Structure 1
Amino acid sequence: MEQLQGKTVVITGASSGIGAAIAKELAAEGANVVLAARRHEKLNEIGQEINWQARGKALVVRTDMANREEVEEMVKKALGAFGRIDIFVNNAGQMLSATVQSGKVEEWEKMIDVNIKGVLYGINAVLPSMLERSAGHIINIASVSGFEVTKMSTIYSATKFAVRAISMGLEKELARTGVRVTNISPGMVDTSLSTSVSNRKKLEAEDIAKAVLYAVTQPDYVNVNEITVRPV
């Protein structure tokens, strides 16, 4: 798809699972990808694979999305390397103990810091350059848990409800600015986050990457606001 040739995409949580699949999918279509995550060794492996096999190039930037300064520095490095950021994929996430009565406050805080604050830090860092160019696309990876709450998912679902709310409000804020917003809500995906759930049909990470590819290759006048992907 020539729409992505030479464009720059930042993917957070890119060291495995959905993030790695998105990076490989978009780089195969000619996009330059900035891989952001905490696990530097895994990032390097994926970056080397992309630089060896894909049409686009990869830049690896170790980043803790719960750290605002690191997020801002990562965006600066991406802009310095490629000149602009066309697409920003907020994919980094934590899924830990999510019941209220468990009392695991530290785990709740980790989910809130990455799943909510990390998303906002990324948007805050990248949005000024997009608005200056009147062009850009922000992809937020939420979850079907942002639509449905189980007795085991209270806190996690709350963070994903928040991601959907951020996406919905931001789309309205950015109307007619040239910057598009897409919220993608996957069902259960076969990644390291879902290893404890073995009795349900799961999606593949590549299925979500295809949804991202669909959203970012639409004509400039088309804004795909919401995509929900569930296993059959």
Structure 2
Amino acid sequence: MTDSLDGTVALVTGASSGIGQAAALDLARHGARVALVARRTDRLEELAGQIGSEVGADALTLTADVTDREQAQRAVAQAAEHFGRLDTVVNNAGVMLLGPAVDAPLEEWERMVQLNVTGLLYVAHASLPHLLRAAEAGPRQVADLVNISSVAGRVARNGSAVYNATKHAVGAFSEGLRQEVARRHVRVSLVEPGAVATELASHNRPEVQEGMNRRFEGMERMEAEDIAEAISFVVTRRRRVAVNEVLVRPTEQEG
């Protein structure tokens, strides 16, 4: 079946909540064994239990901060060693800290660059050798690196300059890498969600949260499961099909 991931292994970063959590569960439902990576061990263990009870699939929990190069490399290595292979990587871990650039806390900018860009690069770099091997000899003879960006990676907005910069960087990296490994059947895809009802916005300062609430007031936001379905669609295509980029907005979101 086209949508079966039986015999494959997926690694998902930021799996302790939101899109990462939903993506890991959905990939398991498609037949993948899943490695769950995040900093919150208790949330990972809860998700692993859910995957085991609902799907009957094997899930490995890996507590790691992917902004630390050694931790990111170790998580990828442990997943590949435990399962014997790595076919799919969902680079989801990220943070969105918005607000005016003037007088912004510099620590917020540093945190976004470290997680949204550097952490994503660490995971991609560590994963690529495993993905290339999986594409050469695997049940599907294709492998997937899915980088989670944002509509902010396409459209720059007042009040999100640095977040825009990090997500544009993800897009540029993804496209350059896609061209490099396409002939080796490693598909590099970019998923760009619009407004999703997750805890991502709660990391902002109160005054920023108030502005976000006003912007999206009355709008039905997407759920994490909506993006998880998009990710699963991307990675379950036949070997000859690569979905390079998916922009997913709520029906009512204009920009």
TM-score, normalised via structure 2 length: 0.87
Q: Is the 8 A contact 1:28 1:54 kept in 2?
A: yes
Q: Deviations over 1:61-111 (max 9, x none)?
A: 001010110011001110111100000000000111453213311110110
Deviation at 1:130, TM superposition (A): 2.0
Distance 2:193 2:12 in 1: 16
Question: What are the within-5 Å matches in structure 2 for residues 207-222 of structure 1?
Answer: 207-222=226-241
Partner of 2:249: 230
Per the alignment, in what secondary structure is the counterpart of residue 184 of structure 2? coil
Match of 1:145 among 140, 144, 152: 152
Match of 1:156 among 146, 163, 179: 163
Q: Percent identity?
A: 43
Per the alignment, in what secondary structure is the counterpart of residue 76 of structure 1? helix
Deviation at 1:218, TM superposition (A): 0.4
Deviation at 1:179, TM superposition (A): 0.7
Distance 2:190 2:99 in 1: 22
Deviation at 1:175, TM superposition (A): 2.1
Q: Is the 8 A contact 2:23 2:228 kept in 1?
A: yes
Q: Is the 8 A contact 2:87 2:130 kept in 1?
A: no
Q: CA RMSD in A?
A: 1.3
Partner of 1:193: 200
Higher alpha-carbon deviation: 44-53 or 87-96: 44-53
Higher alpha-carbon deviation: 66-75 or 133-142: 133-142
Q: Is the 8 A contact 2:116 2:167 kept in 1?
A: yes
Partner of 1:179: 186
Deviation at 1:7, TM superposition (A): 1.1
Distance 1:187 1:212 in 2: 14
Distance 1:164 1:68 in 2: 21
Per the alignment, in what secondary structure is the counterpart of residue 7 of structure 2? coil
The number of aligned residues is 232
Partner of 2:129: 128
Q: Deviations over 1:119-178 (max 9, x none)?
A: 110110010122234342100000001111221111111100111111111111112011
Per the alignment, in what secondary structure is the counterpart of residue 174 of structure 2? helix
One-letter amino acid of the structure 2 residue matched with residue 90 of structure 1: N
TM-score, normalised via structure 1 length: 0.96
Q: Is the 8 A contact 1:9 1:87 kept in 2?
A: yes
Question: What are the within-5 Å matches in structure 2 for residues 161-172 of structure 1?
Answer: 161-172=168-179
Higher alpha-carbon deviation: 94-103 or 149-158: 94-103
Unaligned runs of 5+ in 2: 137-141, 203-208
Partner of 1:56: 57
Distance 2:74 2:54 in 1: 28
Change in Cα spacing, 1:6 to 1:85, as seen in structure 2 (3 Å) is same
Deviation at 1:187, TM superposition (A): 0.3
**Which structure is larger by alpha-carbon Rg, 1 or 2?**
2
Question: What are the within-5 Å matches in structure 2 for residues 17-28 of structure 1?
Answer: 17-28=18-29
Question: What are the within-5 Å matches in structure 2 for residues 21-36 of structure 1?
Answer: 21-36=22-37
Q: Deviations over 1:169-228 (max 9, x none)?
A: 111111201111110000010000134333143111000000011101100111110000
Distance 1:81 1:64 in 2: 19
One-letter amino acid of the structure 2 residue matched with residue 148 of structure 1: V
Distance 2:179 2:99 in 1: 30
Partner of 2:12: 11
Unaligned runs of 5+ in 1: none
Per the alignment, in what secondary structure is the counterpart of residue 228 of structure 1? strand
Q: Is the 8 A contact 2:94 2:116 kept in 1?
A: yes
Partner of 2:44: 43
Partner of 2:67: 66
Partner of 2:139: none
